[in-house]
A = this chain, B = another copy of it.
């Protein structure tokens, strides 16, 4: 491995000088700078980040903690984060936490041990002790943060929009699926929808799903249609659940969207690929990842950011599981 010493030798200067041109700090004569640069070039020198990190007590690494990259909502987030930090010369240490606080703590620990300069976490529990005494900037992603820096979508508004749109399209007996109670984001969207439904002239009932797994959603979907066969509109807690409902409806030869409308939440990539394609409330996942990265980068430079909770807008994506809205209304 070629070190700063080799470069110094080749350029006939001291390591201090090489360090100066490397970091563009302090005075260094144009000519010697050229010599040094040439030496670096010839030797194909790349500074050892580990040595740097040791002295400066900070690396060019950022920690990213996601519940499970295998869940289709998260890759978009991850990609947004990566694209943004990569531009700024940072790299990612990545881990899946499985919503497990011990695993989270373990990762946070190794992040620290590796001198990461900041972390982005999509934990369910931003209030956990894990984050209390974290001695570095952190931003929470996809989690409503009370006081901590965070980036999240406006779930409550999303819930409202979903309810409004389905009502506007004349569903009268609506089933509102409630996602896992321990997820703030799921609660928000549920409450938003509930708010509108309670104030509208429609019948509705609520059905809970404890996870976002397709398997469980399938079971609940079966129950839905046997218990409430009169349902003509479903507001699902996310796109996975909506997919399960659609699946079951098609299996029962229910006409979607004519006899049953379905609205999902998230707009994961495959929602568009379903047939009929899924109408849903879109969270701008990629952009959220980017925003979180931007916020973290800002936090790293400047201790006091004014706007440290950024709420991203959600939008209704009209596809084929909802009817066209009647112009005459």
Contacts and interface: CB of A to CB of B under 8 A. Distances in A.
Interface of A: 1, 46-51, 53-54, 57, 59-61, 68-70, 72, 74-76, 78-79, 82, 86, 91-96, 107, 109-110, 112-115, 214, 240, 243-244, 246-247, 250-251, 269-270, 272-275
B72 A270 contact: yes
Contacts of A94: 82, 92-94
Given A91-B93, A113-B47, A270-B273, A69 B61 contact: no
A246 B270 contact: no
A94 B86 CA distance: 11
Contacts of A246: 275
A235 to B, nearest CB: 19
Given A61-B93, A95-B92, A275-B251, A114 B50 contact: yes
A87 to B, nearest CB: 12
Given A50-B114, A94-B94, A76 B70 contact: yes
Contacts of A51: 54
Contacts of A109: 46
23 contacts: A1-B57, A46-B109, A47-B113, A48-B54, A49-B115, A50-B50, A50-B59, A51-B54, A68-B79, A70-B75, A70-B79, A72-B269, A82-B94, A82-B95, A86-B95, A91-B107, A91-B110, A214-B272, A214-B273, A243-B273, A244-B273, A250-B275, A270-B270
Contacts of A114: 49-50, 59, 61, 91
A247 B275 contact: yes
Nearest to A271: B270
Nearest to A256: B275
A92 B82 CA distance: 14
